[in-house]
Amino acid sequence: MAADSWDYEPDDSRTELSAAALKRAFLDNLFFLRAKFPEVATLNDNYLALAYTVRDRILHRWVTTARSYLEEERRSVIYLSAEYLLGPHLGNNLVELGIMDEARQAMGELGHDLDELLAQEEEPGLGNGGLGRLAACYMESMASEAIPAIGYGIRYEYGIFDQEIEDGWQVEVADQWLGNGNPWEIANPEIKHPVKLGGRTETWTDSQGRYRVRWVAERELVGRAFDTPILGYGVDNANLLRLWKAEATESFDFAAFNVGDYYGAVDSKIVSENLTKVLYPNDQPRVGKELRLAQQYFFVSCSLQDMLRIYGMRRGDMGGLPEKFVVQLNDTHPAIGVVEMLRILVDELEEDWDESWELVKRLFAYTNHTLLPEALETWPLPLFGRVLPRHLELIFELNRRFLDEVRGRFPGDEELVQRVSLIDERGQRAIRMANLACLGSHRINGVAELHSKLVTETVLADFYRLWPEKFTNVTNGVTPRRWVALANPRLSGLIGQAIGDEWVRDLSQLKQLEPHAEDSAFQAAWRAAKLANKRELAALIEARTGVTVDPGSLFDVLVKRIHEYKRQHLLALYILA
């Protein structure tokens, strides 16, 4: 069948949302995907069967969405983030599809407790906190608003650690979130991209007399794609989260095995796969720093190569790239993408430097997350040069041209030149990634109105002086789908009874609650919902710790790792004091 005549529609049994259809699909998936019948199925089998049931309904929307984006050639967001704190998928996807009640009915009729199945899911710990949660919220919101987007990141085998408290101390245990299988991802082994690391560069003059540079890498690995559909709320729309896993170019050295070097035969595989083994390896030792830089470059390089692969499906002229994509840097972790894009254009596609740099600036945008100068990411020059020798050369050349421009605009102001330089010359020389992100982006935003204002007055004040037109604000949002509708069904139900369900898409609708503020019946129902939630929390605290607490207490709940400078730790110290 010709590609342009594709008119396949899946069978209704795989897309219907009724309780009866969910029941039938659940039993089919238990039988055909788990090879189990109800009497021997484990809790995890039943969770997976339900997850696959829901996934089928998402995939229908995902494939249809991808096809419409391709046909319409709409501009897409390429969202680069080292973290995605997605939260459990099953409950969220039931809310997005609007079938929580149908799923509860279907499972109840089969003798299963939906809450028990929801609790079985291992949360993908692909993030640390606010940065990763912001990325997850943006992906969900863009899907809900039908904004074409691909989120790119790393498929960490071990995510943010599991926290246990022993003798009052935080003990960090490996987070094996993939241990029981991940039904939400689609392995895409045909989508893979090579990534170079280390080595040296060589120069030559080509047949047209042009100065050229090639990167001769010390080692090369491959990034393979794992895709997760991100569903929008109440719409037939789903976007794509594509995470990269590092693999060796050759997983098994047959020659080494044949001469008895059994460990050497798989050494390349082990070294390569270590790259995506764990979220944020300890970067105090030198080897940890190198691994973290290599992680960042790996996922950015794979992602930009993938963007160009998609772009090449429809056209070839690089000049149209910014009309097809915008690349959003979620903090400085993916900022190396600015130089990687320049390298691809200049070294591999043989494009003109000036035209390439203008294209890069039109393509990238940068979200700043911190006002602390010491928290802005830097990389020591020797380390950076070892991992990315060609990128260091490009940064030197970018910096030379940039500082010449600054001196031309502000003659004699060498202190300004030193502050905006891509290289910090104080003490051990280091690459300033925030400066690179500012230089290579056409838009720079903070994550709250006050934050965005302070960014222009403090850490990025010099760049605001250079390019005030680049700066804007995009206020952090949290999706009410997960953080109210899913997290607090009692409160959500009460609000829905009072004002309808449109607030789940538009939080400004909550203003309609104001007339109910003096309604004694509504107040009583509100207090009852809150008290029921507190009783559940008190029961959980007693089950976990043996401590009995009064449900009538005022609770202040903090969910976070214990960290030296985080507010959770500071509040704990305040309570003790």
Alpha carbon distance 346, 339 (integer Å): 10
For strands 200-205 and 211-216, give the pairing.
Answer: antiparallel
Residues 21, 14: Cα–Cα separation, whole Å:
8
User: At residue 439, does pLDDT exceed 90?
Assistant: yes
Measured CA to CA, the distance from residue 445 to residue 471 in angstroms comes to: 6
pLDDT band at 1; cut points 50, 70, 90: very low
Mean pLDDT of the chain: 90
Among all chains, which residue has been given the structure tokens 């900022």?
Answer: 335
What pLDDT, on the 0 to 100 scale, is given for residue 170? 78
Residue 273, phi-psi category: left (phi > 0), alpha (psi -120 to 50), beta (remainder): alpha
In terms of Cα–Cα distance, which of 479, 433, 478, 481 is closest to 460? 433
Please report which confidence band the pLDDT of residue 128 belongs to, taking 50, 70 and 90 as the band edges: confident
Which CA distances in Å does 466 have to 392, 409, 438?
A: 24, 9, 10
Question: What's this model's pTM, rounded to 2 decimal places?
Answer: 0.92
pLDDT of residue 3: 47
Q: Is residue 441 over pLDDT 80?
A: yes
pLDDT exceeds cutoff 50 at 5: no
The per-residue pLDDT for 165 is: 81
Average pLDDT for 500-505? 92
Instruction: Specify whether the CB–CB gap between 473 and 466 falls below 8 A.
Output: no
- Tokens 């202040």 — which residue? 556
Instruction: Dig out the tokens for 376 from the structure.
Output: 């802005």
The predicted model gives 365-383 an average pLDDT of 93
Banded model confidence at residue 249, pLDDT cuts 50, 70, 90 = confident
pLDDT value, residue 566: 67
Average pLDDT, integer, range 425-435:
95
Tokens describing residue 420: 């905006």
Residue 328 binned pLDDT confidence (cut-offs 50, 70, 90): very high
| Higher pLDDT among residues 577 and 565, named by residue | 577
Q: Mean pLDDT over residues 416-437, rounded?
A: 96
Banded pLDDT at 258 (limits 50, 70, 90):
low
Residue 209 DSSP label: S
Q: How far apart are CA 374 and CA 382, in angstroms?
A: 20
User: Closest by alpha carbon to 151, among 237, 238, 52?
Assistant: 238
pLDDT at 168 (0 to 100): 78
Output the pLDDT for position 266.
53
Residues in the chain: 577
pLDDT (mean) for 309-327: 87
What is the three-class DSSP state of 449?
Answer: helix
The C-alpha atoms of residue 70 and residue 310 are separated, in whole angstroms, by 9
pLDDT at 263: 53
Q: Tell me, what's the pLDDT at 187?
A: 96
CA distances from 61 to 14, 27, 97, 163, 231 (A): 12, 22, 10, 36, 8
pLDDT of 512 over the 80 cut: yes
Which pLDDT score is estimated for 32?
Answer: 93
- If phi > 0 it is left, if psi is from -120 to 50 it is alpha, else beta; for residue 168 that is left
Q: By the 8 A CB rule, do 29 and 51 touch?
A: no
Quote the CA–CA distance of 21 and 7 in Å, as a whole number.
Answer: 23
Q: What is the dihedral of CA 140, 143, 145, 150, to 10 degrees?
A: 100
256: confidence class by pLDDT, cuts 50, 70, 90? low
> What's the pLDDT score for residue 105?
97
pLDDT of residue 223: 97
pLDDT of residue 2: 45
**pLDDT tens string 195-227:** 999 999 999 998 888 889 999 999 999 999 999
What does the DSSP 8-state code read for residue 447?
S
Average confidence (pLDDT) over 165-176: 82
Residue 223 to residues 34, 175, 192, 244, 354: CA-CA distances in angstroms? 29, 22, 5, 6, 30
Does the pLDDT of residue 257 top 90, yes or no? no
CA distance 293 to 379: 8
Find how far residue 441's CA is from the centre of its chain: 20
Residue predicted with more confidence, 10 or 430: 430
